Structure 1
Amino acid sequence: MAEALITIALTQLTLLMDQQIRKQLRLVRGVEREVQKLNSSLRSIQAVLADAEKRQVKDESVRVWLMKLRDISYDMDDFLAELSTAILKIQIEGVDENPTSSAPKNKVSSFLSCFGFNKVVQRRDIALRIKGINERLDIIAVEKERYKFDMIMDKEEYRQYHSTSYVDVSKIYGREGEKGTLISKLCNNGSEPELGLHIIAVVGMGGIGKTTLAQLAYNSHEAISGFEIRMWVCVSEPFDVVKVAKAIVEEVQGTAPNVFELETILCNLRSSISGRRFLLVLDDVWTEDFRKWEPLRDSLTTGAGGSKVLVTTRNERVARIMETTYTLRLEELPSDDCWSLFSKIAFHGRSKDKCEELEEVGRKIALECKGLPLAAKTIGGLMRMKNSVQDWQNVLESEIWKLEDAEKGLFPPLLLSYYDLPSAQRRCFSYCANFPKDYKIEADNLIKLWMAQGYLNPRSTADMEIMGREYLEDLVMRSFFQEVERSKDGETILRFKMHDMVHDFAQYLTYRECLVMEVHSNLATRLDKLEGKARHLTLVRAEEVPFPASIGDTRKLHSFWVQSFYDSPPIVSEIDRVTSELFQSLTCLKSLDLSRNRLYQLPKELGKLTNLRYLNLSHNPLWELPETLCGLYNLQTLKIVSCDHLRKLPQGIGMLKNLRHLEIDRTESLKTLPKGVRNLDHLRTLSKFVMVSSSDSGDSICCLQDLKNLNQLQGSLKIEGLGFVEDAIEAEQAELKNKKQLVNLHMDFKPSVEDEKTMELIEALEPPQELKYLQISFYGGTQFPSWMVYLSNLKKLHFQDCQNCVHLPPLGKLPALETLTIENMQNLKTIGLEFLGIADEVNSNGSTATGSLKGASSSTIFGFPRLKKLKIVGAGNWEDWEVISRVGEENIKIMPCLLYLKLSDCCKLKQVPLALLHKAPLRKLRIQKCPILQQQYRKVTGQLWSNISHIPKIRIS
């Protein structure tokens, strides 16, 4: 961690020594000399940090030395950030000329003025502050010599990854017996009375596989079929009865009740499960206080006989207190099973000869994992990165295996994997200690937090998000994270968790630096005892606890997160306020998360957090944001998702030149964007772009052409209010086709207008060829644009409420299209060969011609070559569906990949083309509110039932 901090500081120093900044500081005596000395001191210390960080585990004095160095590194980072912010302020605001003076201030004087220096100290203060840091570093350097550290070169800071090489380790090794026993105890009641609640516990040390075994049982066929309802709740510490009860109700009902009193939520719980046979898993229980468990247990007894609670815990005393009827104690894996798990990961992608070469030393390494699945997965992830026998032998012979104070054998493999990371990735991993245990971490959000802390320093600022994703993939590959959820294509990590032992390890690495604490009345006192050493603070706020008014000494915090679970309620309590004093003390803060805290107002002192790079205010009933927010020139990420009451953004938002992500999803009350948004040419994320009529807009509101310079946009963009756009010229000026990193585009034409201008407008809104997802809503034209059939990368297309369209474009020509939804097109009457994209391929004689959609055979024509899902809903006047006309079936492949077909509210449609039903590999057919089709395809008695009877899943209602 110290290595990464030093790297960040050296990067800041490099910026400070930049010619432009040096010119600004040329009148400040001694600055350049002191900066050079600082640079030299840091590099000499950096050379031994790798050895020092390894030795801290066994030598407490080395750990103390590293803590001192981390404190200095943070202080230096704070000072350099203050310096660069002052310079940035000049660059954005310009030189402040005093009209009453005879001459304008020069840039240095302006810089010093905004730094807060008076005439007496302005020429010396910067140099003195750097000199003070140098003197502290001198002491650290002298102490360094006492330890005789070895110089170890750190790994390359940046790696280029060519693939994720993700390994599926879902197969469980050596637990078949325990799995069978547990499922039997949960699902078979032969020897148990049906009355009463049965509580079963799985007990074992951290990393032994308790949660994995519980998941196997929970998802087994026996559990799915044997219980009416199943619920899974991560408990961890602290045991909050209200939160646990709300989580159970949410599992049953799908939404969490907006109540906070214990008796109210328990009453809701009893009502939800009353008379129903359920399986409840309480994962990772720690509390030994029977008084916390008793009211929950009593409420659970209202379930039907045979209901079960499965508890996982490290502590057998917890199992006894919860009065379990059966306890399954997990032991270490047998050596052969441990080897199987280790080798599956370590040997992934290697040749047979290479595996044989490494097997002997590999089996010895697997023995060092002492039968712990987590250890085997972690060290297996490490060995995947090492290719030579000597590298493997070095790991086997490492002194770290001999550690005694290592949570029953788990820390050594974690430490070996941790020290094998480049220093920047080490810091990214250890930062995850800020999240509470069992928290589901959003990958995209974590990367933005890493950016805010300066942990991602790629070759250019444009690569920060890419580098963050690569770091995350590497950490996942090394088994630092678990329960990884990916996008449907498997390419992108969406969210994940940390195993509780890995979380313990991260907190061990960040002792006194990263704190996760409950909010209590004595919070300020507890924090003051830490003497201001904490740099990252997470406060877990229970539902009945008010927002903290004071949190003690927070001057040095870099991260501050008040974790709560409120969405924006209609009535906001008066206790949910942020005081101006709180913001005045958080001057070094880089990331601030106040989401879900029922805040409806923020003080103007928010503008004092000038180092802030990440600000999350989502799910709060905020009416507006203070204009002072526009002075946060370093801000990279602003999240105001689901702020249902937010009416406008600050008018000066265009001053946020470094803003990369503006997340305003689900802010329905936000009807306009300020003109300054057009100046945010670094934006990667802009959730939506909204417009109003020209009579309501004026010069201060964005219009469509203001999208022109936002060519860095990526991900998803929804454009609302296209019905207000008066002509195609404005649409052309938006230059959508230049937004080549956009993946998902939603064009919303409300208020829908039916005229030629609308068709000209959509024609001018040509999106980039790289687009993968497109939705067009409330389009009032009668024809779709010509550019649509050239979107060769489009995977998903959705037409919604395009009421005036009478024809569909030749979408069958789209080579990558997988999902097509047509919703509420009431004027659509016929779907024919034009829709399939084959009309031009077939001549009047029924022969085929050469075309772009041909396959390998010159005589075969393809329409919708990759379509998997087709939904047509609300086509009330649709009568005829023509697939093949005057052409032999052998010449045409129509929807050869179609698996799912849904037809709804198509009351005039007579039948589904036989060729489609027989030739497409349909697995699921759904027909509803289609009276003619329902009559024709009724099971057994329907006239056309035989045409669909071969489809595995049919639902006609």
Structure 2
Amino acid sequence: MAETLINLLLERLASVTVNRIGRELQLVIGVDDEVANLSRNLRLITNVLQDAERQVTEASMGEVTGASVGDWLNELNQVSHEMDDVLDEWCTEILKHEQEGVNPTEALEIPEGSNKGGIIETAPRTKEKVCLPLPSCFSCCRVKQVVRLPVNIVRRVVHRRDIAVKIQSLNEKLTRIANERQRYNFQDTKEAPKPPPRQLTSSLVIDKSFGRKTEKDLLVGKLLDESSSHKRGGPLIIPIIGLGGIGRTTLCQLVYNDDMVNTYFDKKIWVCVSDPFEEIKIAKAIIEGLDNVNNTPNSNQLDPFMVRIKELIKGKKFLLVLDDVWNPNSSQWNELIKPLLEGATGSRILVTTRKEEVAQVMGATNQMIHLKALSEECTRELFNHITFLDREDEFEKFEMFVQEFVEKCKGLPLVAKTLGSLMRHKKTKKEWQDVLQSPIWELKKIPEEVFQPLLLSYYDLSPTIRRCLLYCVTFPKDHVIDKEVLIELWMSQDYLYKKQKKEDEVGQTYFEELAMRSFFQDFERDDDGNVTKCKMHDIMHDLLQFLTKEECFSMEVKGADEMLELPSSNSFRHFTLMFASQGLSSILSSQNCGNLRTFTTFASTIYSIEPEFITSLKRVRTLNLSSTALGVVPKEVGELLHLRYLDLSDNGFMELPDKIGDLYNLQTLRLVRCYNLLKGPDLRKLINLKHLYVQGSLRLESKGISRLKSLQTLDEFHVSEDTREEGLLEDLENLDKLQGALSMQHLASPLQTVSGAKRARLNTKRLLHLELNFRCDCRRRIRRGEAEGAILNALKPHPDLESLSILGCRGATSTPTWLMSLPNLKRLTLYIRYLEDLPALGTLSFLESLDIKMTDKLQKVGVEFLGINRISSSSSSEVISFPKLKHLTFSFMDEWKEWEEVDSQNIRIMPCLSSLEVRNCRKLKALPEFLWKTPLKSLTITSCPILHSVYYGSERCHWTTYGEKPAPINEGFNKISHIPEIRIGYEF
């Protein structure tokens, strides 16, 4: 993907090199001309790049002979990356000078009249001077090639001279490459920019099955048939066999989420297997699906995992889905199935695979379900559903083309979905004809027949979005991709660089477009319906591997003594290591790592990393060593000049080297769940840091947060409990770019003051989610009742806040004064120990979830809680209290006795309420009658003896029901019997 990199270089040369770097290089005569030549050659090459890349793709599929074109393109990529490194190196040097308070331009100013006898001398800053030769190509004929400089700036001059030499060398290479382009008769494909696509939903939600009802009913029947069993005993194994893209996983998902299936099985586990068949990896996933505590053995041996599965599965009727199984051998399968034999009668294993041999290995050939292609009618229905979503009025305009597209789908749902997603952006008949007449349909030697429509969608993307999509191949198959992480990774590779646009906003736009075009699937969403995570279809992943085989490399360590070597080609830029289990230098040679821009690990245990290996990653932008059991972080990490993204999460090291504070270009630093981490680096030099994640690293002390003015994300801020140097609330004062979510911990620290809380200026930071946690381990916690309440009132958040948690506040008797001025609040948790009354929360128009807990003084919830005064309740106009509230919880309210009733026909109370929980409110006498008029679907009353008697008839009840209920026991139960799900009992 040279095109996007070259476009980036052109923008940098225009906006950075000339305006900022140029004035420093002007003293090296001739650089301006070199920069101009670079830009001119890059523009000439850009015009033919699309055709060059098309030829290389076709050559790789055996359609044309394009080896020489590939060589030309590889050389261009190499030079472009070198140029990017040079510009990045120079920008970093400028940042260093600025941080040190040095004006790098002034450092080489040549005073007037200093030319004596052809020798240039600078004004002395030290007594000692050094002679520095400059290359002849950058010298002026009237000046000798000797400059006398003070020794304290020699390093700067040498570095500047080196940059000039590199620019000249790169320009010579690029000129030759630009001239060679004429040999290949490339088509000039430079086009006017395409208009942006219509704004549609962020992802396609297909809410019904197309043509799979028969298969679904058959499969559900097999799962629920008590008479069916494996011929050798144990769980019944049902293999679903079919081509890639035919919908095996989709069918399993339909069955997995079926209501009858949910009721029938005690446990359901979904495991993505893929290739290779790794028993320990699969066993870990099974344990995680069975054990909510996730008590997974820490071992490289299979036996502990088998023992744990046996414990968890014994006597339980389970459904296990093994999705996308490729090539297990019989011994592997026999080991994995042993603990599963302990499951109860009726247990089932669903297996999706492309290969019938898998069913033979599992001994389940008599239960196979061969998934066939969709009928033409169902294919057309699916294609039309996606293509004309939100544009049904255009169907007649394009109806003449639909049949041709349906035929090209060949009954494969993935193809129908992909082509539908592509065509929903086409507005004219010519665009539809162009797709049908694309030469890509003529490609014969292609690995998968579904690659053709996927390639069409791929090439329909802009070059910048294409590059972002290709980077997703650095994740393993079936990996759950976190959207925010993905955007930060794109940013680390400079894929989101846009003049006058924020990179995170560009990343969101790119993700939305890829989601709309069906390049992602299996979306997970937050409470507001926003996509947070996704997956990629394995066929899509195969295509990306095919397209990036010269640039991305994934390696799986299959043996403890296996020595790994990167391919000798210099074109590899991104490396993914999986299943490594020892020091890197013992399994991976560093000889070919010098050009890597990404080094990332998955499912690996790497206890140590040798400094020599880190040093070899001199061009790396992204370094992910999370979850590797790393004990020590080498200080050499701080020497990685170009590093933008560093993830060291879930490791056991106790400190980070100070040199990490020298990573001037670092944009994202992840230190999540580093429980042993005591000392962090001095952050004050990390002026480009935008995202800092430290959640779970509870003892971490870092300096310099107050200087990080570019910081946008800070997931946790730990208030200091025993020092006045760092970790004070006023450190947040100048971090005006903070957004998203922030958790503030230990607010009851005795070192905090009201003035410090005011100086934090939370109201200037567009935070959407805020946690104010006053819990504090310090014995010298604030004792004065007014202090915590005053600090709470001083931490007024931005009015756009959507969720708020106030936890462990003991120094207030009321909610903060600013609470009712948050018009967009959707979720609220209040844990204010000595709270005496509740404000009019019913007037918060968008509140959806409310959790009130652990109050020692509140005795009554009155009508003021609903936001209804007694006068308005008698008015003729209708009043709505809590118009959007869905979930309401009261818990551990020791003195709460009364919830006041409201009796008025002009008041609607909680018209959307779905669930109500009342826990450990032992003195509460009754629930108000208006609750039974709400659309409650779930009621939980736990450890509330008086309420137990009122609504069940027994104080010591232990009854729980999830649907069918016994006959009414008393009048109180009659009032709640219409609620579908009721739980009443005690928690132990």
Give the Cα separation in 2 of the matches to 1:257 and 1:114.
57
For residue 125 of structure 1, the aligned residue among 162, 167, 170 is: 162
Task: Give, in angstroms, the shift of residue 162 of structure 1.
Answer: 4.8
Instruction: State yes or no: 1:842 paired with 2:882.
Output: no
Partner of 1:870: 888
Equivalent position SS for 1:655: coil
Q: Label 1:229 to 1:859 Cα distance change in 2 as closer, same or farther (>3 A).
A: closer
Partner of 2:372: 331
Query: Is 505-514 or 548-557 further displaced after alignment?
Result: 548-557
RMSD of aligned Cα (Å): 2.9
Partner of 2:286: 248
Equivalent position SS for 1:407: coil
For residue 822 of structure 2, the aligned residue among 777, 786, 791 is: 791
For residue 841 of structure 2, the aligned residue among 805, 811, 815 is: 811
Instruction: State yes or no: 1:481 paired with 2:520.
Output: yes
Instruction: State yes or no: 1:746 paired with 2:746.
Output: no
Contact 1:814/1:864 (8 A) holds in 2: yes
Output one character per residue of 1:636-681: Cα deviation in whole Å (capped at 9) or x when no partner.
100001010112322x3011111111111111223x442x211111
Equivalent position SS for 1:301: helix
Give the Cα separation in 2 of the matches to 1:523 and 1:475.
40
Task: Give, in angstroms, the shift of residue 137 of structure 1.
Answer: 2.6
Give the Cα separation in 2 of the matches to 1:688 and 1:193.
51
Give the Cα separation in 1 of the matches to 2:643 and 2:159.
25
Q: Give, as a single letter, the amino acid of the residue that structure 1 aligns with 2:545.
A: Q
Equivalent position SS for 1:793: coil
Give TM-score scaled by structure 2 length.
Answer: 0.88
Output one character per residue of 1:890-914: Cα deviation in whole Å (capped at 9) or x when no partner.
1322222222111111111111111
Partner of 1:78: 85
Output one character per residue of 1:731-788: Cα deviation in whole Å (capped at 9) or x when no partner.
2211111113443343436446442233332222211111111111121211222211
Partner of 1:881: 899
Give the Cα separation in 2 of the matches to 1:336 and 1:111.
81
Partner of 1:728: 754
Instruction: State yes or no: 1:342 paired with 2:383.
Output: yes
Output one character per residue of 1:64-96: Cα deviation in whole Å (capped at 9) or x when no partner.
433332222222222222222122221222329
Task: Give, in angstroms, the shift of residue 370 of structure 1.
Answer: 1.8
Task: Give, in angstroms, the shift of residue 613 of structure 1.
Answer: 0.6
For residue 685 of structure 2, the aligned residue among 655, 659, 672 is: 655
Equivalent position SS for 1:657: coil
For residue 99 of structure 2, the aligned residue among 92, 105, 121 is: 92
Output one character per residue of 1:12-54: Cα deviation in whole Å (capped at 9) or x when no partner.
3224433232111122233222222111111111111122222
Partner of 1:569: none
Give the Cα separation in 2 of the matches to 1:909 and 1:191.
51
Task: Give, in angstroms, the shift of residue 593 of structure 1.
Answer: 0.5
Contact 1:206/1:501 (8 A) holds in 2: yes
Equivalent position SS for 1:230: strand
Equivalent position SS for 1:662: strand
Q: Label 1:152 to 1:729 Cα distance change in 2 as closer, same or farther (>3 A).
A: same
Give the Cα separation in 2 of the matches to 1:110 and 1:682.
39
Give the Cα separation in 1 of the matches to 2:947 and 2:151.
78
Give the Cα separation in 2 of the matches to 1:625 and 1:41.
44
Equivalent position SS for 2:720: coil
Instruction: State yes or no: 1:458 paired with 2:458.
Output: no
Q: After TM superposition, list the pairs within 5 Å mapping 1:241-390 onto structure 2.
A: 241-254=279-292, 255=294, 256-325=296-365, 326-352=367-393, 354-390=394-430
Task: Give, in angstroms, the shift of residue 470 of structure 1.
Answer: 1.2
For residue 168 of structure 1, the aligned residue among 199, 205, 229 is: 205
Q: Label 1:634 to 1:165 Cα distance change in 2 as closer, same or farther (>3 A).
A: closer
For residue 493 of structure 1, the aligned residue among 512, 531, 538 is: 531
Query: Is 93-102 or 285-294 further displaced after alignment?
Result: 93-102
- Give 5+ residue unaligned stretches, structure 2: 60-65, 108-122, 135-146, 954-967
Give the Cα separation in 2 of the matches to 1:284 and 1:465.
34
Partner of 2:908: 893
Give the Cα separation in 1 of the matches to 2:568 and 2:153.
29
Partner of 1:852: none
Partner of 2:964: none
Q: After TM superposition, list the pairs within 5 Å mapping 1:189-268 onto structure 2.
A: 190=227, 196-197=233-234, 198-254=236-292, 255=294, 256-268=296-308
For residue 718 of structure 2, the aligned residue among 690, 699, 703 is: 690
Contact 2:913/2:934 (8 A) holds in 1: yes
Equivalent position SS for 2:357: helix
Contact 1:925/1:954 (8 A) holds in 2: yes
Output one character per residue of 1:793-832: Cα deviation in whole Å (capped at 9) or x when no partner.
11111112x2222112222222211111111001111111
Task: Give, in angstroms, the shift of residue 418 of structure 1.
Answer: 0.8
Instruction: State yes or no: 1:831 paired with 2:869.
Output: no
Q: Give, as a single letter, the amino acid of the residue that structure 2 aligns with 1:783.
A: S
Give the Cα separation in 2 of the matches to 1:320 and 1:172.
29
For residue 917 of structure 1, the aligned residue among 931, 951, 976 is: 931
Task: Give, in angstroms, the shift of residue 115 of structure 1.
Answer: 12
Give the Cα separation in 1 of the matches to 2:946 and 2:782.
31
Q: After TM superposition, list the pairs within 5 Å mapping 1:396-407 onto structure 2.
A: 396-407=436-447
Equivalent position SS for 1:243: helix
Give the Cα separation in 2 of the matches to 1:301 and 1:561.
37
Task: Give, in angstroms, the shift of residue 102 of structure 1.
Answer: 4.1
Instruction: State yes or no: 1:536 paired with 2:574.
Output: yes
Query: Is 749-758 or 450-459 further displaced after alignment?
Result: 749-758
Task: Give, in angstroms, the shift of residue 496 of structure 1.
Answer: 0.9
Query: Is 639-648 or 268-277 further displaced after alignment?
Result: 268-277
Contact 1:512/1:530 (8 A) holds in 2: no
Give the Cα separation in 2 of the matches to 1:35 and 1:644.
49
Task: Give, in angstroms, the shift of residue 721 of structure 1.
Answer: 2.4
Contact 2:130/2:154 (8 A) holds in 1: no
Task: Give, in angstroms, the shift of residue 708 of structure 1.
Answer: 1.2
Contact 1:707/1:735 (8 A) holds in 2: yes
Q: Label 1:497 to 1:428 Cα distance change in 2 as closer, same or farther (>3 A).
A: same
Give the Cα separation in 2 of the matches to 1:158 and 1:677.
42
Partner of 1:717: 742
Equivalent position SS for 1:778: strand
Output one character per residue of 1:863-918: Cα deviation in whole Å (capped at 9) or x when no partner.
3222221111011111111132xxx511322222222111111111111111x223
Give TM-score scaled by structure 1 length.
Answer: 0.91
Give the Cα separation in 2 of the matches to 1:526 and 1:736.
50
Q: Quick one: percent identity of the two aligned structures?
A: 39
For residue 681 of structure 1, the aligned residue among 702, 709, 721 is: 709
Q: Label 1:595 to 1:534 Cα distance change in 2 as closer, same or farther (>3 A).
A: same
Q: Label 1:917 to 1:123 Cα distance change in 2 as closer, same or farther (>3 A).
A: closer
Q: Give, as a single letter, the amino acid of the residue that structure 1 aligns with 2:878.
A: T
Output one character per residue of 1:289-338: Cα deviation in whole Å (capped at 9) or x when no partner.
33332321344333344433222222222332332232222232222221
Give the Cα separation in 2 of the matches to 1:350 and 1:520.
51
Q: Label 1:237 to 1:35 Cα distance change in 2 as closer, same or farther (>3 A).
A: same
Give the Cα separation in 2 of the matches to 1:222 and 1:933.
33
Task: Give, in angstroms, the shift of residue 381 of structure 1.
Answer: 0.8
Q: Label 1:161 to 1:261 Cα distance change in 2 as closer, same or farther (>3 A).
A: same
Output one character per residue of 1:172-231: Cα deviation in whole Å (capped at 9) or x when no partner.
322233333333334325465675143322222211111112222333345334433322
Count of aligned pairs between the two proteins = 921
For residue 859 of structure 1, the aligned residue among 877, 882, 890 is: 877
Q: Give, as a single letter, the amino acid of the residue that structure 1 aligns with 2:907.
A: I
Equivalent position SS for 1:17: helix
Contact 1:83/1:115 (8 A) holds in 2: no
Query: Is 167-176 or 866-875 further displaced after alignment?
Result: 167-176
Output one character per residue of 1:574-613: Cα deviation in whole Å (capped at 9) or x when no partner.
x711211111111111011000011121111111101111
Q: Give, as a single letter, the amino acid of the residue that structure 1 aligns with 2:6.
A: I
Q: After TM superposition, list the pairs within 5 Å mapping 1:452-601 onto structure 2.
A: 452-460=492-500, 463-490=502-529, 492-519=530-557, 526-542=564-580, 544-549=581-586, 550-552=588-590, 553-564=592-603, 576-601=607-632
Equivalent position SS for 2:893: coil
